[in-house]
Chain A
Amino acid sequence: MSAPADSCSGDLIVLARRAGAESPEWDALRTHARACDECGVTWLTMQWFDGAGAVRPGDERLVGRAVEATLAKRRARAGSTRPRSRRPALAVAASLILAGAMASAGIALRRHWQPAPVGGSAGGTTSAGSSIGHRRIRVGPAPQTPPATPEPSAPARVPMTDPEPAPAPHLGPPPQTARKIAALSRDDVLPPAAPRARSRQADLFARATVARRDGRTVEAIALFRRLESETPQTPEAVVALVALGQLLGETGEVEAALATFDSYLRQSPTGPLVPEALAARAGMLARLGRATEARACREELERRFPGSPYGTRPKPSPGGNQR
């Protein structure tokens, strides 16, 4: 098993576990993990979670349920995003017309067909509502037996009213209606709100980070510089100094990179990227031939961040190989 390029980033243990290292190598790894803080924490965490959450009998059913539910939700969403058809509206219109026709028919036929007794029955007749359209027309004789569960005292259902009774006099629309109005004014009535704009610095930072990730170094540098000039002193601009310095160092602009790291350390003396900035600054100083300053910078890094992976302390690696 070969050590990765940056063997103290914790990858060593990850790779060893993946490769199924032999026992002597594991012993060497254990030794290394005790000497290296970074690997030590990774080693412990991995050990603690070994075997946790393992596959159990019955998991295939659980996975199957989740898959089916997900597919069903996906189908439902796909269905709801289809363009609306006019058929439902036509159906509603047709049913209204039909209801009106039936109501008229009810008036006309009431003389001939016995209306159901008020109070209803299991055979299902009526509501004592005010709208004749809601009165069911019964065909055939009324049931002779009284209903098992009479409901004469049930309040008449009046259509088109709010089902929630207002407990107290209330000015303005009832709460439910108010919610509907609020929802309407939010989604339908008012013009669509403009998408929340990211701040200028966040936008520049994100674009620069993507460019850096994709290896478009020149573009990333340009964007980071714009960030520095357009929105100086913002958190994004301060953090970006480290990334900018690293990119400048990669492109050979060592002095500019050094100035950038100095700027970060000045603006954020206790920031989260101070170890990175100190390590990179030491590297830039060494490249410029300023060995004494580079050494002093490394010593500062060692002193302030003794467990840092950027320290100069030699770290043992498995099998006694030093990287």
Chain B
Amino acid sequence: MLKVLHLRLARGNPPESPRPPLKDDLGAVLLRSRAGEARALRTLLTALGPAMLQVVRRVLGSRHPDVEDTFQEATLALVQALSTFRGECSARQFACRIATFTAISARRRHKVAGDVPLDDDDDEDRSPRGSETVPETDWVLAARRRELVRHLLDELPVPQAEALVLHSIVGLTVEELASATAVPVETARSRLRLARAALRVRITGDRAALELTEDLS
């Protein structure tokens, strides 16, 4: 990569950058972190931590015993990946992508090891517990539906699982997804389409799941 860059510079052609760097509120901090400034790195990690933690919790399940370890693993992965950050997406999107990948990998690792229960009713997420506006049954159903998606994440190819999480759970647009995962937009769209098709098949193929998703009809 560096070699290619040097060759281009030697020819006098600037590197092609069809995607202009995004304006990012953490851009300056990120640059200083990359330069090795420990204080900036601490600020960056503290700023990105909550978003990464939320992604890890959403993928693993809030009560998963390895949430903290996986989160820590994700922050370390972020620090190691800073040098590869090309500025094509925001720092938050980059961090969320790393958290997503780390959490998906952790789920798969534990599933293979079979040592950690993956099911989780997320009951701690019932923030307005006992709220009149949100019936109790809806929380239970939502938790079961989340487990449906999480089980699917274990089985999908990693790029598709990653696309599904980043788009449908984290909330990136297709273009942002393409930037964050460093693939062409068409590729991101294809991955997303295949993942959603798999989710639809899972929903329609599973009677219990179909009952859970009555709002589809």
Say yes or no: A41 contacts B50, CB within 8 Å. Answer: no
Q: Complex: how many Å from CA A71 to CA B122?
A: 31
Which residues of B pack against A, CB within 8 Å? 16-18, 38, 41-42, 45-46, 49-50, 53-58, 62, 68, 71-72, 75-76, 79, 122, 124-127, 142, 145-146, 149, 164, 167-169, 171-175, 178, 182-184, 186-187, 189-190, 192-194, 196-197, 199-200, 213, 215-216
CB distance from A271 to the nearest CB of B (A): 11
State which of A38, A66, A215 has its C-beta within 8 Å of the C-beta of B49. A66
* Complex Cα gap A209–B183 (Å): 7
Tell whether, in the assembled complex, residue B215 and residue A44 are in contact, meaning their CB atoms are under 8 Å apart: yes
In residues 30-54 of chain A, which contact B (Cβ within 8 Å)? 34, 37-38, 40-42, 44-54
Contacts of A117-144 to chain B: CB distance below 8 A: none
Determine the distance from Cα of A307 to Cα of B204 in the docked complex, in whole angstroms. Answer: 13
Identify the stretch in A5-13, A194-202, A290-298 within 8 Å (CB) of chain B at 4 or more residues: A5-13
What's the least CB distance linking B175 to chain A, in Å?
A: 8
- CA A140 – CA B122 in complex, angstroms? 67
- Known contacts A46-B169, A66-B68; 20 additional CB pairs below 8 A are A4-B173, A38-B193, A41-B200, A44-B215, A45-B164, A48-B149, A49-B169, A50-B142, A53-B54, A53-B125, A55-B53, A55-B54, A62-B53, A63-B46, A66-B49, A67-B45, A74-B76, A74-B79, A209-B183, A209-B184
> Shortest beta-carbon distance, A80 to chain B, in Å?
14
Which residue of A is nearest B60, CB measured? Answer: A53
Contact check, A63 vs B16: say whether CB atoms are below 8 A apart.
Answer: no
- Asked if A64 is at the interface (CB within 8 A of a chain B CB), the reply is yes
Compute how far the CA of A232 lies from the CA of B53 in the bound complex, rounded to whole angstroms.
Answer: 45
Q: Are A42 and B168 in contact (CB-based, < 8 A)?
A: yes
| Residue of B164, B167, B184, B213 contacting most chain A CB atoms (<10 Å) | B184
Contact partners of A243 in chain B: CB under 8 A: 184, 186
CA distance A98 to B15 in the complex (A): 61
Per the bound structure, the CA–CA distance linking A17 and B168 in Å amounts to 11
Q: Is the CB of B50 within 8 A of A6?
A: no
Known: A10-B168, A213-B183. A48 touches B46 (CB 8 A): no
**Please, how many residues of chain A have a CB less than 8 angstroms from a CB on the other chain?**
55
Inside 8 A of A51's CB, which chain B residues have their CB?
A: 125-127, 142
- Which listed segment binds B: A104-112, A151-159, A272-280? A272-280
* Residue contacts A-B, CB under 8 angstroms, 18 given: A11-B175, A17-B171, A38-B196, A41-B200, A42-B196, A48-B149, A49-B146, A52-B57, A52-B58, A52-B62, A59-B53, A62-B68, A63-B53, A69-B75, A73-B76, A214-B18, A243-B186, A307-B200
Q: Report which of B18, B146, B173 forms a contact with A14, defined as CB distance below 8 A.
A: B173
Q: Which of A15-34 contact B (CB under 8 A)?
A: 15, 17-18, 34
What residue of chain B has the Cβ atom nearest to residue A272's Cβ? Answer: B194
User: Do A53 and B216 touch across chains, with their CB atoms under 8 A apart?
Assistant: no
Which residues of chain A have C-beta atoms less than 8 A from B172's C-beta? 14
A170 CB within 8 Å of chain B: no
Output the least CB separation between A213 and chain B (Å). Answer: 5
Residue from A9, A53, A212, A246 in contact with B174 in the complex, judged by beta carbons closer than 8 Å: A9
Report the minimum CB–CB distance from A302 to chain B (whole Å). 16
